[in-house]
Structure 1
Amino acid sequence: MDFNILRVARVVMNVTDLSNSRDFYVNALGFIETESDDQHIYLRGLEEHCHHCLVLKKAEKPGVHSIGYKVWHEDDLEKVERLFKKKALYTEWEEAGAQKALGRTLKAADPDGIPLEFFAKMETVERCLQKYDLYKGARMQRIDHVNCMVPDVGKTVAFYNDELGFRCSEYTATADDSIWAAWLHRKPSVHDVAFMNGEGPRLHHIGFWLSDPMSLIHACDVLASMGHADCIERGPGRHGLSNAFFLYIRDPDGNRIELYNGDYLTCDPDFEPVKWDINDPRRQTFWGHKAPDSWFSEATEFIDSVSGKPVAQSKAVLAQQKPDFVT
């Protein structure tokens, strides 16, 4: 491909109560609130110089409007558009300023119907990395990745790898060697986007990078002290896959957030993807703890960019919906 996608850069999603969401994301998790109005809250991590990485949009029910990827140069946008048009996939242009702080943007949808945005420019703001007086909650640093449930992981991975230039760092295979899940990256870490087998497309979670593992523990204490202990869904623990420390939580609307730290470098051209057996108990949690059933069944629907209605979903093609641990 002749374009350069840099990284996943932002997500736009619905919340039903901006005040409750502000308390959760800013006061409990420690995001910086860059800006807000009566319909939106624009959030960023402490080390981020872009205006935002997460847009919370007031709505009657949850839903995800877009996953945004930053590209190297404005010229890359036309090249991405040509690819999507060649594949007979939806594209639409938005001029700079149509969305708060965002430059000229290509809106698109992948073959699963996941709404995507590609942009080269976003307004910049002050980085707060060394403003330690602003560190609170989980001390959120930056957006790291998204994870989506899709009905046919193999087909989705082929599109992102072969057409968009992503690379696979790790993957999960079933007994017949079908791909059950895969972790794909553009930046030199384990993933910008992961895809897992399930009814979809749906957003499973957004992952945010923390500065150290103790920030996950501190986040648990803060959440409990603020009365949000019941939002902790899974962890803290260490993934086998990616080797990262994790904590999965649910916001007041049920959107799943992962607090994440400690994966590894993947930029070498001779790096080979790591294969995991779906039934290896160390895969999802290196220490062997099982994930709850909700982790395999619950996710947030995407909103179609044109109709404003939920994106149609399909059943997963692989019968195995979750691991059956073999010991």
Structure 2
Amino acid sequence: MSEHAAIHDIAHLGGIELLTPEPERSLWYFRDVLGMEVVHAAGPSVYLRGYGDRAASTFKLTHADAPGVGCISWRAASAAALERRAAALMAAGLGEGWSNGDFGRGRSFRFRDPDGHSMALYYEELAYEAPTELRSALKNQPQRYTGRGVGVRRTDHLALMAHDVSANRRFAQELLGFQLREQVIFDDGRQEIGSWMSPNAIHHQLAYVADLDGGHGRLHHVSLWVDNREDVLRAADILTENGIFIEAGPSKHNNSQGFYLYSYEPGGNRVEIYSGSYLVLAPDWQPVIWNEQERGSGTYWGAPLPETFLKYATPTVAAKK
């Protein structure tokens, strides 16, 4: 059993803020092409959600000079859990202090991971209440399926680039209580290339992967969930018909077993349409470790991941400087 398994203060990924220099085109991509619902707008930001998300908003688009990730929000398991994690993060020198929260959220604690990514913890959350025209016939479904575009159900996970994967993985385990699912380790166990983690039964809600360009605080991709493989294949048709560049897939990953499709939204950020994978319910789960030969091209079947998948991240190193 993992020595870090005793901390259960984080419930799940609460929301992702994506930065874009092309706000109108990015909004078109997420709203019209992917089928997300706009629920609020304030200043340079628009707030969206997938039709299966319980919260009022799980995705935020913010106009910025360069693409990348803004604040990544995690929901605490309780008010007391929020206080415990905030105290631990402050003691570790990573805390930035409290705020009154963002749209749909209560009091929040801001902090940064060792690589510099901005994060927040909160507990109080506004549940989504659909207007009449979006109410589902299912009482346990927060919103009806609109059939618009890809029709993504929910925000699933994100992968962050890190100069030191090991340091950031330890941060997530020791300070946030995330459980380690899988790792890619090269050079006879000396080089940690990537680690996949989660605070709950979902295979991973956060991954750290090595930043080969030596950057800090950069985004590899955000991932949005659809129900099955056929939805991923359908997404490929919809993206192609709308002139969206598909970087990789549809294919199946070896680690995570996820069925995937990667594209670039108009602002330049990589977005994954994702399904499949597996749940981890065992309390004594042992992380699965892949070496160079076992990892291979990163696919179980399908075309190998391109070189851009290993190196491209937002913002670019030049823009970050």
TM-score tier, shorter chain, comes to: 0.7 to 0.9
- 1:275 aligned to which of 269, 289, 293: 289
1:185/1:265 Cα in 2 relative to 1: closer, same or farther (>3 Å)?
same
Q: Where in structure 1 are there 5+ consecutive unaligned residues? A: 303-309, 313-327
Residue of 64, 68, 73 corresponding to 1:63:
68
How far did residue 223 of structure 1 move? 1.4
Q: Is the 8 A contact 1:81 1:91 kept in 2?
A: no
- Specify the code of the residue in structure 1 equivalent to 2:281: C
**Which of residues 145, 162, 175 in structure 2 aligns to 1:163?**
175
State the Cα RMSD in Å.
Answer: 2.2
1:182 corresponds in structure 2 to 195
**What residue in structure 1 maps to residue 309 of structure 2?**
295
Where 2:293 maps in the other structure, the secondary structure is: coil
Distance 2:119 2:145 in 1: 35
C-alpha distance in 1, partners of 2:104/2:271?
24
SS at match of 1:279: helix
210, 217, 236: which one pairs with 1:201? 217
**What is the TM-score normalised by the length of structure 1?**
0.85
1:241 and 1:283 in contact (8 A); partners too? no
2:133 counterpart residue number: none
Unaligned runs of 5+ in 2: 1-5, 131-135
Match of residue 172, structure 1, among 167, 171, 184: 184
Asked if 1:240 is matched to 2:240, the reply is no
Offset of residue 157 of structure 1: 1.2
* 1:27 aligned residue: 32
Moved more, 102-111 or 54-63: 54-63
Deviations along 1:119-140, one digit per CA (max 9) or x if unpaired, are 1122221366586550222211
| Cα offsets for 1:45-70 (capped at 9, x unmatched) | 11112111110012232232211101
Deviations 1:102-159 (A, max 9, x none): 2111011122221110011222213665865502222111111110111111122122
Q: Which moved more, 1:8-17 or 1:251-260?
A: 8-17
The percentage of counterpart residues that share the same residue type is: 26
Match of 1:254 among 268, 279, 285: 268
Contact map agreement 1:33 1:42 (CA 8 A) in 2: yes
> SS in structure 1 opposite 2:82?
helix
Per the alignment, residue 51 of structure 1 pairs with 56
Larger displacement relative to structure 2 (189-198 or 153-162): 153-162
The whole-number CA distance in structure 2 between the counterparts of 1:155 and 1:131 is: 40
Measured after TM superposition, the shift of residue 291 of structure 1 is 1.2
Alignment-mate amino acid for residue 209 of structure 2: M
- Which amino acid counterpart does residue 102 of structure 1 have in structure 2? R
CA contact (8 A) 1:70 1:119 kept: yes
- Evaluate the alpha carbon distance shift between residue 106 and residue 237 of structure 1 in structure 2; reply closer, same or farther with a 3 A threshold: same
Contact kept in structure 1, 2:145 and 2:151, CA below 8 Å = no
Letter of the 1:108 counterpart: F
Answer with 56-65 or 152-161: which moved more.
Answer: 56-65
TM-score by length of 2: 0.87
Which residue, out of 207, 226, 231, partners 2:242? 226
The 10-residue stretch of structure 1 (118-127 or 42-51) with the greater mean CA deviation from structure 2 = 118-127
Distance 1:294 1:256 in 2: 11
Equivalent pair of 2:26/2:265 in contact (CA under 8 Å): yes
Distance (whole Å) between structure 2 residues aligned to residue 173 and residue 82 of structure 1: 32
The 10-residue stretch of structure 1 (242-251 or 170-179) with the greater mean CA deviation from structure 2: 170-179
- The answer as to whether partners of 1:16 and 1:62 remain within 8 angstroms in 2 is yes
AA aligned opposite 1:190: H
Structure 1 residue 244, shift from structure 2 partner? 1.0
1:168 offset after TM fit, Å? Answer: 0.9
